[in-house]
Amino acid sequence: MVKIKKVSNSDSLFSLTVIYQDTKSPNRERPEHIHDDYEIVYVYEGKGTFFIDDFFYQMQSGDVFIIPANTIHRATPDHLDPVNSSVVFFGPELFFPTLIDDSFSYWHLFEIIKNERKYKISLSLEQQRKFKTQMERLKDELVENKLGSRQASLLILHEIILYLHRTLIESAVTINLPHTNSPDWVKEILGYINQNLNKKLTLTDLAQQALVSTSHFSRVFRRSTGMRLTVYLNTKRVIKAQELLLATSLSVSYIADLCGFESLTHFHRVFKKYLKSSPSQYRKGKRGF
């Protein structure tokens, strides 16, 4: 087994981290997951369930998961056969701002994935071989940190994104639809929450909506999503607030109400917990004014 390597060459202008061939047990997986980075996950072996943007995917060898920034996600490795994977995290500043070829953009892959809400690609054996080579080259470049390492690792990252884009468009690659062993009521309640996020949503009300007891709801919801209900609701509301803060000129207090926060104080406390800044600071920092 290859020793785990976490390598990074990051600062405020260049954010790139690779976690190479890490085997995660369920108790080592991060509890909740939302961040401004883009993420590519490649599975070498093992099994598990990946919860991404309210969909459940089975994880197995040869799978690639493409996760746009600020997308709620949580992996749950199998207890008996945990997933061994490599993960690449990178910031949006690593995309070229201008287009050389109008028919291609590094953003386009993530736009397709996000719009179609299909986050998993299963590669053929030949595609797996090529992709593993690219991941190893990226890891080696960051580890060795030679002259021009940033330029070289950026080129390899762009090569990976282009390869996935071409694979998606040109090959008979399988774009996997969500699949899970979770009860139907879990999937239905996720849709219900999305449609009613601006309302007060309590455990009792949601359990009644699902026609199960509160204790059963809590247990199965956490087992399925990897999150407690409160964490899930707060994360979804913060994501919606991020979108409204950047896409509209609505007041912070009105956005808090639209996202279902109990009060403006509650909104500020939760938002700062997740994103380390107040809603106003986040808007100003991202917009540049």
Cβ 84 vs Cβ 46: under 8 Å: yes
Q: How far apart are CA 285 and CA 282, in angstroms?
A: 5
Residue ranges with strand state E in 73-204: 73-77, 84-90, 120-122, 174-175
* Domain total in the chain: 2
Identify the residue with better confidence: 128 or 102.
128
Of 175, 208, 227, which residue sits at a domain end? 175
Per-residue pLDDT at 175: 52
274 closest CA partner among 221, 226, 229, 236: 236
Q: 146 and 240: one domain?
A: no
Are 15 and 124 in a shared domain?
A: yes
Residues 149 and 18 in one domain: yes
pLDDT at 157 over 50: yes
Which one of 175, 202, 219 terminates a domain?
175
Looking at the fold, whether 24 and 153 belong to one and the same domain comes out as yes
Q: What is the pLDDT of residue 168?
A: 85
The reported pLDDT for the residue numbered 28 is 52
Residues 44 and 132 in one domain: yes
More confident residue, 101 or 48: 48
How much is the pTM?
0.82
Mean pLDDT for the chain overall: 87
Domain that holds residue 256: 184-287
Q: What integer is the mean pLDDT of 6-24?
A: 79
Same domain, yes or no, for 43 and 162?
yes
| Percent share of the chain, pLDDT over 90 | 63
Last residue of a domain, one of 150, 175, 200: 175
User: In the prediction, which pLDDT does 34 show?
Assistant: 79
* Cα distances (Å, whole numbers) of residue 141 to 4, 86, 145, 179: 16, 15, 6, 36
Cα–Cα distances (Å) from 220 to 48, 109, 154, 161, 193, in that order, read 16, 33, 42, 36, 16
Angle between helices 214-225 and 184-195 (to 10 degrees): 90
For the domain that residue 193 is a member of, what is the CATH number?
1.10.10.60
